Amino acid sequence: MFRLAFTLLLSMATASAGSAADDLRAVKGRLEGIWLDGRVPEKGGCIANTYDGETQIEFEFEKSGGRISFFEPLDLFTAMQIASVERDGDGYVFTFRRQDGTLVRAMRVRELDSNRIETLQLTPRRDGSTPTSRMAYRCGDADRSVNADIPMEVLRLLTPEVTLSASYPLVVDGVADDDVCKGIGYEDRVRANIEQGAIQFEVLGPVHYWVMLEGVYKPRVIALDRIRKVRQVSPSVLKLDIQGTILRDGAPYELTIVERGNRFEIPEIGKTFIRCNPAMRGANRWF
């Protein structure tokens, strides 16, 4: 009798664990994509339309295992690594991994229907006030056509699945890469009008895919441009098909990423960039 009862309990526990895992997989699948914070996207999807600067929330699970990005138009993206998602009553609590590796229960999400979620920030606001719940509306489904053929170990060369997106500084002639990465002598080079800049990529999506080049003006040919396709043509070479914006009058173009150890070269613009260790962080607003 004891053995039968134990077997029944074990099978029930296993079934319960399996059901919980299936539930989490399902909700992650439903959340993937863009959600417009605080406004119904009456004009259509967020990629093709603008909504007066409202924040867009983007969930990605398939490639990274868990990542959320906050896009504040026109050009501020803040990515957070999701350490865990746990069921919490009629919603789900998201734990983020900070840049220093510590964890914080940061956000609660409740699904209202297939096109609406309720979000609640669980950490205090910067001004000390208590956050209130907000509505967000589906504004774009995941598009895996951009990176479907590329494994995560290759994608993370451009977009690591870490909190605060990586930014890759331009090689500076006569300056050690480590000094560039640490910012040693940066202000002196600014005063001397020496070109310094950085490039940043978003290739995890699953809706926004982009490249942004800052501080590089010779030539100034990349703004915040949309990546249409990532292709691996050899173990050390990637090709990016890109839709140009204001600097190219909307014309499509291609960038080649050639790996050079702790550097990579982009022949089309004649520039080489550094993979800093630890990675430099791109523009962001969160912790």
- Rounded CA gap, 136 and 31, in Å? 11
Look at residues 91, 119, 140 and tell me which one is the last residue of a structural domain: 140
Cβ neighbours of 11 (radius 10 Å) = 10
Q: Say whether both 108 and 185 belong to one domain.
A: no
Residue 238 domain-assigned (yes or no): yes
Identify the domain containing residue 27 by its residue range.
2-140
Q: Are residues 6 and 132 in the same domain?
A: yes
Q: Do both 98 and 69 map to the same domain?
A: yes
Show the tokens assigned to 240: 């990016």
How much is the pLDDT for 75? Answer: 74
Pick the last residue of a domain from 140, 172, 195: 140
The DSSP secondary structure of 14-56, one letter per residue, reads HHHHHHHHHHHHHHHHHH-EEEEETS--TTS-TTT---TT--E
Same domain, yes or no, for 104 and 168? no
| Burial of 219 per CB tally in 10 Å (0-12, 13-18, 19+) | exposed
Cα 51 to Cα 45: distance, rounded to the nearest angstrom: 10
Give a yes or no: residue 147 inside a domain.
Answer: no
pLDDT at 12: 37
Among residues 175, 178, 216, which one has the least CA distance to residue 198?
A: 216
Distance CA 249, CA 247 (A): 6
Beta carbons within 8 Å of 258's beta carbon, 6+ residues apart = 236, 237, 264, 265, 266, 267
Residues 156 and 134 in one domain: no
Residues 85, 93: contact at Cβ < 8 Å? yes
Q: Is 54 a domain residue?
A: yes
Element (H, E) at 9: helix 2-31
Alpha carbon separation from 61 to 28, 126, 131 (Å, rounded): 7, 28, 26
Task: Note whether 83 and 20 are same-domain residues.
Answer: yes
Exposure string for 91-116, b = 16+ CB within 10 A, e = fewer: bbbbbbbbeeeeeeebbbbeeeeeee
Evaluate whether residue 194 is within a structural domain: yes
Same domain for 178 and 254? yes
For the chain, which ranges sit under pLDDT 50?
2, 4-17, 283-287
- Residues 7 and 135 reside in one and the same domain: yes
Q: What is the pLDDT of residue 216?
A: 85
Asked if residue 132 and residue 175 are part of one domain, the reply reads no
Which of 108, 140, 172 is the last residue before a domain boundary? 140
Q: Are residues 173 and 214 in the same domain?
A: yes
The one-letter amino acid at 178? D
Do 86 and 13 lie in a common domain? yes
pLDDT of residue 83: 94
Indicate the number of domains in the chain.
2
Q: Give 85's DSSP letter.
A: E
Q: Does residue 104 belong to any structural domain of this protein?
A: yes
Contact 59, 32 (CB under 8 A): yes
Q: What is the pTM of this model?
A: 0.85
Angle at Cα 58 formed by Cα 49 and Cα 215, nearest 5°?
75
Residue 145 placed within a domain? no
Which domain CATH number covers 116?
Answer: 2.40.128
> Are 202 and 236 within one domain?
yes
